[in-house]
Amino acid sequence: MKKNYPVPGMFLATALLLLFTLQACNKHKDTMPPPPPVDSLSNATKEQLDYNVMTMVLDMRVAMDAYFDAIGVVGREIYRFSSTEPRYTTDLLGSGDVTLGNDKFYIMVPWKARYRVITEALQLIKVAGKSTKITDAALRGYIGVAKTVIAHELLMNLNLTGANGIYINLAADNPASGPIVPQGAALDSIARLLDDSKTVLMGAVLPPLPTGFTDYVDVPGFLKVNRALAARVAVYRQQWSAALTALNESFFSMNGDLTAGPKHAFATFQGDILNPCFIAKNASDNVRLTHPAFAANILPGDDRINKTSLRTSAKSQDGLTSNRDLWIYPVNVTSVPIIRNEELVLIYAEAKIQLSQFPDAIVALNRIRSAHGLTAYSGGVSQSALITELLNQRRYSLFGEGHYWIDMRRYGKLNTLPVDRTNDDVWDKFPVPVQ
């Protein structure tokens, strides 16, 4: 296996062992241990800083299963059944009089994990800025990577809390402090972070990155990742022309590999972790199931049905039933995409629709349809009709990757999501966690 992190074995093993320990000890806990005291380094070497970059990027994997579960359940993409955790089918689905709590695992775990990574990134910038043992180009590399990571992690938390906003106190030791920044202003700040990263990376030397960044380990490659994330943020801000500009600077390719893009990689070697989202087929207790609406609404011949697996027997809990497992991670080391080309093609289509450039949008939509065994689009050629088609393609192409609930929210369509039980609720946002 090719590895793109030429960090001395002792440092890499330590970083991976640290991450493995955190993942094992903090799965579905409401607290996270403090980040390592990297700011105690008064004059860090490149080796020490590279170690901190590796730890920071690998820690982005922590609690990702909690994030996808929370967004997937409230967005009616999946059911999450567990005999030891009833809140998957009560709180997250708004059962009866239950509401979302600001001190519950489904928000505390992913929220704190993301702010932990942000804290590590801020410490990396601080420590690198004090070092006299690295070049200016290397410093720019550390800052550029760290700011891109901060922007990504902030966006993940904002995806959860939505209109409730987030903390962006990047000048403090605890970035999850101070006043709440409203959603619109938070998106503006995230966009600026990505733009700042782009600027500082010019003339930089990139630090080593993990295996999932194989094709993006130099500055030109990493800038494409940065711009891909900028395109995602631009459509969230309804900045359609800016989205197209960012796409042109990213790894977007209309006819390229739809799976291309940076990934969170996993491995079985000692010290690394397995994909925390993996659950074997036909599990009997701890299960992640596809919401029945996925298969009920998919078009005949659409190969994206293979993102699910028909169970040998249906599974039921708390008045909910599904006969399909979620199956986007076929083995326990399947990588998890951070952002991939299929999303970029759909971002292109969305921006073109919003700019009333319908022929271009249809080309992109047909690229997705043909890739999954469907005939060319033959529906209405209006903004409304094409948005409906876009959202449907995003639903199936990005299934289980944390987008559908956000898409329905930003287009005001949460009321179209299925409600499976009388008195269930479809939430539009999570509460900001208690500090």
Determine the pLDDT at residue 30: 37
CA dist 326 and 412 (Å) reads 26
Domain ranges, ordered by start, for the chain: 287-326
CA dist 288 and 326 (Å) reads 6
Angle at 218 between CA 213 and CA 224, to 5 degrees: 70
330 with 354: CB under 8 angstroms?
A: no
Q: Which helix (H) or strand (E) holds 81?
A: strand 78-81
Closest CA to 390 of 246, 427, 380: 380
Closest CA to 278 of 213, 217, 206, 332: 332
Phi/psi at 319 (nearest 5 deg)?
80, 10
Determine the pLDDT at residue 40: 60
In this prediction, the residues of the chain whose per-residue pLDDT falls under 70 are: 1-40
166-167 and 263-264 beta bridge pairing: unpaired
Q: Which residue is it, tokens 């004059």?
A: 43
Give SS3 for 387.
helix
Q: Which two three-digit tokens encode residue 114?
A: 């993301």
> Which amino acid is present at 75?
G
Closest CA to 117 of 19, 29, 25, 11: 19
Q: Which residue is it, tokens 């299929």?
A: 342
308-317 and 320-326 beta bridge pairing: antiparallel
Angle at 320 between CA 317 and CA 324, to 5 degrees: 95
Count other Cβ atoms within 10 Å, centred on residue 154: 25
292 with 421: CB under 8 angstroms?
A: no
Distances (CA, A) of 94 to 67, 106, 181: 18, 13, 26
Closest CA to 313 of 282, 286, 348, 351: 282
Q: Which two three-digit tokens encode residue 402?
A: 């944390």
Determine the pLDDT at residue 25: 38
Give SS3 for 78.
strand
Give SS3 for 285.
coil
DSSP state of 317: E
Q: Which residue is it, tokens 């299960």?
A: 287
Distances (CA, A) of 280 to 48, 121, 288: 38, 34, 9
Question: What b/e readout covers 318-357, taking b as 16+ CB neighbours within 10 angstroms?
Answer: eebebbbbbbbbeeebebbbbbbbbbbbbbbbbbbbbeee
Determine the pLDDT at residue 74: 98
Distances (CA, A) of 256 to 34, 178, 253, 342: 42, 44, 5, 9
Q: Which helix (H) or strand (E) holds 377?
A: none
DSSP string, 138-185: HHHHHHHHHHHHHHHHHHHHHHHHGGG-EE--TTSS-SS-SSEEPHHH
